[in-house]
Amino acid sequence: MVTQDENQFENLKASLADLGPFRRGTVLRRFVRCGNPRCCCRAESPQLHGPYFEWTRKVKGKTVSVRLSKEQAQLLDQWIANARRLDSIVADMQLVSDRITEPLFLAAKKPKKGS
């Protein structure tokens, strides 16, 4: 007999097939002030320069940032969303898998003392 949890696990596995490419990190949209003291970005009601797009991520334990074009930022936004979806699906699979396997684990024979 297939349980509801087993059906849910199979559905989660199938949803992985629909997942597109993914990348890790964060895309930031920044507005900045320049160094020119007479620029409008230094006014009382500043008009900052930008937006500038930046991708920040960890590479070998170090934070790396890269300036992006608008088109690159749009691509990365989608890929990062895919990575978050992947993480969510895997977390859900873990919970369901724990529910499926716990009774089997508890029902398995325990080792005898002294063996």
pLDDT digits (tens, 9 = 90+) for 30-85: 999 998 989 999 988 889 999 999 999 999 999 999 999 999 999 999 999 999 99
Spell 22-42 as b/e; 16+ CB within 10 A means b: eeebebeeeeeeeeeeeeebe
- Closest to 90 (Cα-Cα) out of 11, 25, 16: 16
Compute the C-alpha angle 58/65/41, nearest 5°.
145
Measured between alpha carbons, how far is 77 from 70 in angstroms, rounded to an integer? 10
Judged against a pLDDT cut of 70, whether residue 2 lies above it is answered with no
- Domain parsing of the chain, residue ranges: 4-106
Do the Cβ atoms of 73 and 80 come closer than 8 Å? no
